[in-house]
Structure formats: structure tokens, C-alpha cells
Structure 1
Amino acid sequence: MIAVMDANLLQWKKQGQSFFRRLRVWVSLLDPSLLLSSDAEILKAHSLLGSGQKLNEKDNPAVILSLSSVHADSGAPLPFVFRPPAYLPISGPLVVASLLPHSGVKAALFWQLLLQSYNAGFSHTNGNYSAEKSKKTSPKQLLLMAGTVSYTTFAGALPQILINRLRITSPPLQTFCRSILPIPLSGVLAFLNVFTIRSEETETGIQVFDYNGRPVGISKAAGAKAVKETAYSRAALFVATAAVPNLLVLFLQRTRLFQRNSLLAAPCRHISAALVLGLMIPVSFSLFPQLGTIKRDDVEEELRAEAVGVQLFYHRGL
């Protein structure tokens, strides 16, 4: 359990609760060039934030590096592939491939397996584990992750499974399975992926702090709120990423240009999916504050006496 609010959380507190201010910060934090920094440079940047000295504009690169690469519960650098700047470069090709109109079930299952596995690892690594005594992943958590990846992989490939098993040849039904069904399905699976992987936070609770950054205790109510907020934000990301390319292609296929050149549909789908994902990631990460708030009256009764002020703070995670 951490003893005081991490320097990253204190920095997020300074950013305030404005969505547009968070969005501007996340655009900077998602710069892929930040992945070139070494662990030593990351720890040095994090130490600067926690040194207590007044920061100025020349320290902005250190602030960005720390916020993008350090876990706010452990103070340790995040694994390279699960850092926020790596999310688009890694998940982008997986999302585009998973949205393709596959000809067989095996291909659909393969790309869904890669996508759901990466999302599960990202959610677990960037979750809140302030209440955990050990930083190692427990066997129970490993089984939970394996189960989550298994059922979301199968469910993600369900449109292709329906087409193959039911031998659907009707163009309207194929359009529904390939272009309409994946939109709500992507959102539901993204929500379940986060909610299930981080369900332990709702059972054990997470650390909450008062306005001065003093730890108050472990709250299950705050844990449930943090997980739900992150699950909703991830669902919004994948609904938008699935909806725009699919609906755009459906619209363009009615035009003369696309009717004469049917091969244009594939690159249009790929490019639009990648663009929407890239635009939606900072929006999704900004929907809720990284330093979340919960009313003192909404936490456990034993924590209310320890709290100072009308609201408490917690690390939401990603």
C-alpha cells in the first residue's frame, strides 16, 4: 500500500477537472517518441516531480515523460508495450485487422485473440493496485485474464461464426453481420474486458486520499467507480472505431465511384479505422480524470471520520 499520493497523481490534480485540459495533456502523453526514453531517464523525471521543488516550463518534458511512463501506484516504469504511447502503434494494426470482413472463422479468431489479449494486458498493467500486498500477478488473476481473453475472442468473432455456420448468403444479412453487429459488440466486449480484468479492485478496494494528499484508507466504492469509468471510456473508444469505418463504407458503396471501383472499399475502411482510433484514444483517456473524485458520503462509513473535505480522490487507472 502506498503511503502518500504519488507525484504523478499530484501533477494530475494540478491539471484540474476540465475535459479539454486533460485532452490537451493526453495528446502530448501519447507521443510515440516517448517510448525511446530509458528506464533511468523515466525514473529521473519521476524523481523531479516528487522532489518538491517548483517546476517551470523547462521541466515540461520531464512531467510528460513521467505521466506517460510511470505507474502512479508503484512509482515504477510501466512495461514498454503497455505504456500509453504504445497503445496506438500496437493496437492500431490489431483493430484494423479485426474489423476486416474475413472469409473464414480461423482468421477472425486469430486477430480477435491478439486484440483482446493486448487489451487485457493493458488494462491489468494500467489498473489500480494500491491495495495489493504483492505486485506479482496472482494465479487467480491469471486465470481471470485467460477466461476473459477466451470469451471475448469467441464473442468478437461471432459475426463471422454466424455467417459460416448458418451459411448466410443474403447480402442484407451479410451486411448486418459484417457492418452493423460489430459496432455494439465492440463496445460491449471492450467494457467487459476492462470490467472483468479489473474486478479485483471492486472486491478489495483501492486507496483514497483527502484534499491534502493524505491516505484515508481502502474503499470498495471508489474501486467500483474507477473500474466503471475506465470501462465506459474504453467502450466509447471501440464503438466509435467500429462505427465510423463500417458506416462510412456502407454509405460510400451507394455512390457511383465505389460501385464502379469496389476495390476502394478496403483501403477506405483501413484508413478510416486507423484515423478514428488515433483520434479517439486521447478522447477516451480524457473522458474521466486520472485523479478521480468520490463524495465522502459515498465511501464506507469507517472512512468518513478520517476524511477531510467533502470529497476524496483516487487513482482511476487506464
Structure 2
Amino acid sequence: MDVNLLYWKCHGQSFFSRFKIWANLLNPSSLVTTDAEIQQVRALLGSGEKVNKEDEHEWTIALSSVHADSGSVLPLFFRPPAFLPLSLPLVVGSILPHISVKSAVFWQFLLHSYTAGFNHANRNSSSEKGKAANLNQRLLIAGTVSYAACAGALPQIFVNRLGLTNPGVQKFFRFFIPIPLSAALAFFNVYIVRGEEFETGIQVFDSNGNPIGFSKAAAKKAVMETAWSRAALFGTAIAVPNLLVAALERTRPFKKNTMLVASIRHISVALVFGLMIPLSFSLFPQLGMIKTEHVEKELQAKAVKGCLFYHRGL
């Protein structure tokens, strides 16, 4: 078992401990660490037989920069600390009241392109060791991004194409429809981008950290947990600002000052999205657990203490 997973096993089994760890890992200052420094930290941490939480700086670098399956350094833009500074402007741009359909599709395309890249870079890749990149999977990701971009722009498409001029109807399409739509598309993005795991399975470990095989049941559980956490992230990040702005626009001060409304929208998106990232990442353990009776029969005999562990991905 990778040293990163051993750390999560020792210190990340409760929600509050995971939230505390993620709040520290998401600090963008760790992005300035070079690949050579990251590899040195990995070497210092050793085989992971002793997981010393006192080495906080080293663990922050390892957990935020190294993939737990391959042991390779994550691409800079797709490391967890880069998620907030890179995706926040895209989220803000995607929920703005656009004038044209093209601008709405453009921002949706940027948002789903980045999240698809992040989901793919942080997937469980345990079954891909020694294998060449799958062209079909790349084409599927491209199709997922294109579909999600068009689907995300549906509220703007309805407003423009149907010529909706009633303020109440426009508010319904601009403020309320995007909430479940954003959550559903975030779920869809993870589910499709990591869909290959359903076919190949992911590596599972016994309670001693020994790999015992690959499980499709564990893969389904890992992908579904991540998909639900991403739906919670984007659904909440869109819901709170939209509902807040919809309520404030009914008051007299905000009716006369559109710039104030825009400022409130941007600030609320930044606050809610920034808080929801560590919360959503902490909803499920990074080192997940699945009961023996839920995995394949050939793996059940190898299990110890009635459960197996797996890397959930992110």
C-alpha cells in the first residue's frame, strides 16, 4: 500500500480529521514545490511502515502532489491545491447572466474541461500500470465535456431561443434551474470520466495493506462516492449564491444597484465554493472500506477481518 494511503488509514477515517487534513492540503503555497523536492520528500518518508504525523510539511507535499496509485507527481494544474484558484473563476463565469448562447457555452466548456481533467488526473489508476493510454477513453472524455457544456448552457438557450421576456420566468431559468443542473452535470462528469474503472476494477487491500486483487464492486463504490461529493460541491456552490441574489433582488436597494448585486454574487460564490471544497473532499474517506460480502467471490476468501480497503481517488 502506498505511503499516502497508509497516512489516510491512520489519520483520515473520521470526517473531522479528513476536513482538517484537506484544509491544510489545499493551501496553494505548496504549488511552488518543484518535482525534485517532491521526490526527495517521498524518499524521506520511506516505505511508510511508520507514519509520523509530526512530519507535517513533508506529508502536506506528498499528499497534495503525488498520486497514491502510480507514485508519480501530479500535473501542476490538477493538484488539489490548484483546484480552487483555477476553477473558481470558471464557476463565476458559468453562472453569470449571459447575453448570448455562445458565451454561456464557452464558460461551461472551460469549466467542464478543467473538472474533467482534474477528475481524470486524480482517478484510481491502479489497473493501468504498464498499460498505454486508452484512445477510446480520451474520446469519451472529449464527448463528455462537449455534452456537459451544451447541457450546462440550456437555461440560456431556453431564454434566448424561446424569447422569454417575463422576469419571473427568466429568474426561474437563470437562478433555479442551474442548481440541480450543475449538481447533475458534476456527477455525470465524474461518472463518465472514471467509467473505465467499472470495467477494469480497482486494486483492493487487506487490513494489513497487502494488495489482493482487483474489484469492480469497489470501483463502483469509489466512483459513486466521488461523483456524489462533486455533485454536493457544485450544487451547493451554485445554490447558495443564486438563492441569495434572487432574494436580494426583490429588495429596494438592490433593485437600483446592479453592481452591488454582482458583487454580492461573486463574493458569495468565492466563500461558499472555498468552504465546500474541503467539505466535499472530506465526505468520504480517501482510503475507502468495503465489506467482504460486497466484493467478488474470488476476493472474499482473501479478506481479513471481514473488510477490504481501496483508494477512492478524488
TM-score (norm 1): 0.96
Q: Percent identity?
A: 62
The residue type equivalent to 1:72 in the other structure is: A
Structure 2 distance, partners of 1:136, 1:275, is 41
Matched ranges for 1:201-280 at <5 A = 201-280=197-276
Where does residue 200 of structure 1 map in the other structure?
196
1:173-193 C-alpha deviation (Å, 9 max, x unpaired): 100110000000000000000
Kept after mapping to 2: 8 A contact 1:205/1:221: yes
In structure 1, distance between residues paired with 2:166 and 2:243:
19
Relative to structure 1, the CA distance from residue 258 to residue 86 in structure 2 (aligned partners, 3 Å threshold; closer, same or farther) is: same
Task: Give the structure 1 partner of residue 112 of structure 2.
Answer: 116
Query: Do residues 73 (structure 1) and 69 (structure 2) align?
Result: yes
Closer, same or farther: CA 126–9 of 1 in aligned 2, 3 Å: same
SS of equivalent residue, structure 2 residue 20: helix
- The offset of 1:47, in angstroms, is 2.2
Q: Which amino acid aligns with 1:116?
A: H
Q: Deviations over 1:142-194 (max 9, x none)?
A: 11101100100000011001111101111111001100000000000000000
- Cα distance in 1 between the residues matched to 2:66 and 2:150: 33
Superimposed CA distance per residue, residues 97-125 of structure 1 (whole angstroms, 9 cap, x where no aligned partner) = 00100000010011111000000000011
2:152 partner amino acid: G
Counterpart CA distance in 2 for 1:57 and 1:315 is 20
| Cα separation, partners in 2 of 1:288 and 1:52, compared to 1, 3 Å | closer
Match of 1:150 among 121, 146, 149: 146
Structure 2 letter corresponding to 1:271: I
Q: Distance in 1 between matches of 2:181 and 2:290?
A: 30
Taking the aligned partners of 1:234 and 1:52, their CA distance within structure 2 comes to: 30
Moved more, 50-59 or 191-200: 50-59
Whole-Å separation in 2 of the counterparts to 1:144 and 1:39: 30
Partner residue in 1 for 2:184: 188
Cα distance in 2 for residues equivalent to 1:98 and 1:149: 14
SS in 2 for 1:208: strand
Partner of 2:30: 34
Contact in 1 for aligned 2:223/2:312 (Cα 8 Å)? yes
Match of 2:173 among 173, 177, 202: 177
Alignment length (residue pairs): 314
Tell me which amino acid in the other structure corresponds to 1:287: L
Q: Compared with structure 1, are the counterparts of its residues 18 and 91 closer, same or farther at alpha carbon in structure 2 (3 Å cutoff)?
A: same
**1:317 Cα offset (Å):** 0.3
Residue among 286, 291, 301 paired with 2:282: 286
Which ranges of structure 2 fall in alignment gaps of 5 or more residues? Answer: none
SS in 2 for 1:211: coil
2: CA distance, partners of 1:317 / 1:294: 15
Q: Mean Cα displacement is larger for which, 120-129 or 254-263? A: 254-263
One-letter amino acid of the counterpart of residue 247, structure 1: L
- Structure 1 counterpart of 2:58, one-letter code: A
Residue-by-residue CA offset, 1:249-302 (whole Å, 9 max, x unaligned):
011112222123232111111111111111100001000000000001100000
Distance 1:52 1:71 in 2: 15
Q: Secondary structure at the match of 2:126?
A: coil
Tell me, in whole angstroms, the C-alpha distance in 1 between the residues paired with 2:131 and 2:281.
24
Task: Write the distance in 2 (CA, Å) between the matches of 1:52 and 1:152.
Answer: 40
Q: 1:8 aligns with which of 4, 22, 31?
A: 4
2:18 is aligned to 22
Following the alignment from structure 1 to structure 2, what is the Cα–Cα distance between the partners of residues 170 and 52? 62
Task: Return the TM-score normalized by structure 2.
Answer: 0.97
CA RMSD of aligned residues (A): 1.2
Structure 1 position 57, deviation (Å):
5.8
Structure 1 counterpart of 2:82: 86
Which residue identity is paired with 2:122? Answer: N
User: What stretches of structure 1 of length at least 5 have no aligned partner?
Assistant: none
Measured at CA, do residues 150 and 245 of structure 1 come closer, stay the same or move farther in structure 2, by a change above 3 Å? same
User: What is the SS of the residue equivalent to 2:213?
Assistant: strand
CA distance in structure 2 between the partners assigned to 1:119 and 1:52 by the alignment: 31
Query: Conserved in 2, the CA contact under 8 Å of 1:8 and 1:49?
Result: no
Contact 2:203 2:212 (C-alpha < 8 Å) held by counterparts: yes
